[in-house]
């Protein structure tokens, strides 16, 4: 078990450069990778990779549904397609293609969905999806992930090269807060306990992991021992870990940069109701669409900060005392 504490700062490496760097290295290593973009070449730092290896990088234009079909076809020729577009377009715009061409056919395609939730910032409500992971986790065979920082993203991308099937990976494009040291080992389908605790468990993913760790530190200053779990695999979710910490602490708060409906909060609640029913609260977006703003403004506006997590935790703690 790891204990992640101390000052957290933005990583110097942008997530998009982690992705572009992996694509370039693996092409040079002889991997049969084909990277597909939907008119977001510069947005994902792929221009120079396409210039160097034009036969390995295809810009399909603003036609995301078609991109998924192209990727499915390429996978049948032995290539390993990596498709990138924004979360909104990698989910709701092309859902039928995700179902028919990728998941139903069990094709080997990796979808990288960027600008997760409020990190879409100035692209505004049309590009700011809070429902995307909920859409994709309904597919029978899809593996749905949300990476936390550059260390995790690099490690997960490397694992995807040797894993067959349809994987859907949610990420931000620019700098993430560094959570993990270099060399940390990640297991898809298993949550990471970043901080142990006895009174309450905070289960988070994506940008909310850093907020949960900050919240745990604030709770500790108030005499509350909070565990923090990074549940970076939404599907299949780590049921055993959720049940174990529900039994241990008796209270759960989920924290997500996503709608609380059919996202992490819903997935955790499904586990609790079947295996270990305990009181819980869900910190996330509810009943709203996105808007234009800075990430800091949007996190405050939608209740996605450490202070909001602390408030939810205290509600649970007070309810147990009064009950």
Identify which has the larger pLDDT, 13 or 169. 169
Give the tens place of pLDDT for each residue, 55-84: 999 999 999 999 999 999 999 999 999 999
pLDDT in tens, 175-197: 999 999 999 999 999 999 999 99
Q: Reply yes or no on domain 192-322 having CATH 3.40.50.920.
A: yes
**Per-residue confidence (pLDDT) for residue 9, from 0 to 100:** 72
Q: Model confidence at 12, in pLDDT bands (50, 70, 90)?
A: confident
Structurally, at CATH architecture level, domain 15-170 sits in 3-Layer(aba) Sandwich (3.40)
- pLDDT above 50 for 142: yes
Supply the mean pLDDT for the chain: 95
For the cut 70, the answer to whether the pLDDT of residue 7 exceeds it is: no
Q: What's the predicted TM-score (pTM) here? A: 0.95
pLDDT one-digit tens code per residue, 213-238:
999 999 999 999 999 999 999 999 99
Q: Could you list the beta-strand ranges (E) of the chain.
A: 33-37, 57-59, 80-86, 110-114, 143-146, 167-170, 192-195, 200-204, 226-230, 233-235, 252-259, 280-285
pLDDT of 6 reads 47
Give counts: helices (H), strands (E), the chain: 11, 12
* Topology match between the domains 15-170 and 192-322: yes
pLDDT digits over 279-312, tens only?
999 999 999 999 999 999 999 999 999 999 999 9
The per-residue pLDDT for range 100-120, each reduced to its tens digit, is 999 999 999 999 999 999 999
* Number of Cβ atoms within 10 Å of the Cβ of 170: 28
**Cβ–Cβ < 8 Å for 134, 191:** no
Give how far the C-alpha of residue 201 lies from the chain's centroid of Cα atoms, to the nearest Å.
Answer: 19
What is the Cα–Cα distance from 109 to 101, expressed in whole angstroms? 10
Query: Residue 1 — pLDDT band, cuts 50, 70, 90?
Result: very low
Token readout for 79 is: 């290539």
What are the boundaries of each domain within the chain? Answer: 15-170, 192-322
């Amino acid at each position: 078990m790891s204990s992640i504490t101390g000052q957290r700062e933005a990583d110097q490496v942008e997530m998009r450069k982690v992705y572009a760097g992996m694509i370039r290295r693996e092409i040079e290593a002889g991997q049969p990778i084909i990277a597909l973009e939907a008119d977001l070449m510069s947005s994902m730092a792929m221009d120079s990779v396409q210039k160097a290896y034009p036969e390995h990088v295809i810009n399909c234009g603003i036609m995301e549904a078609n991109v998924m079909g192209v990727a499915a076809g390429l996978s049948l020729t032995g290539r390993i397609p990596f498709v990138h577009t924004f979360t909104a377009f990698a989910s709701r715009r092309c859902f039928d293609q995700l179902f028919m061409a990728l998941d139903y056919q069990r094709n080997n395609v990796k979808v990288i969905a960027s600008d997760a939730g409020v990190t879409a910032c100035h692209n505004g409500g049309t590009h700011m999806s809070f429902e995307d992971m909920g859409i994709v986790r309904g597919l029978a065979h899809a593996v749905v992930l949300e990476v936390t920082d550059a260390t995790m993203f690099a490690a997960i991308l490397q694992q995807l090269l040797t894993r067959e099937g349809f994987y859907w990976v949610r990420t931000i494009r620019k700098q993430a807060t560094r959570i993990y040291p270099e060399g940390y080992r990640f297991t898809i389908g298993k949550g990471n306990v970043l901080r142990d605790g006895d009174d309450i468990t905070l289960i988070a993913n994506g940008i909310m992991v850093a907020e949960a760790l900050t919240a745990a530190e604030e709770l500790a200053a108030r005499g509350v021992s909070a565990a923090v779990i990074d549940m970076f695999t939404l599907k299949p979710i780590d049921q055993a870990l959720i049940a174990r910490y529900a039994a241990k602490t008796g209270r759960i708060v989920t924290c997500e940069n996503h709608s609380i409906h059919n996202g992490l909060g819903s997935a955790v609640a499904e586990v609790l109701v079947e295996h270990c029913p305990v009181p819980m609260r869900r910190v996330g977006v509810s009943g709203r669409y996105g808007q234009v703003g800075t990430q800091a403004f949007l996190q405050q506006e939608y209740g996605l900060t450490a202070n909001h997590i602390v408030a939810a935790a205290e509600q649970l703690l007070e309810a147990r005392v009064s009950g």
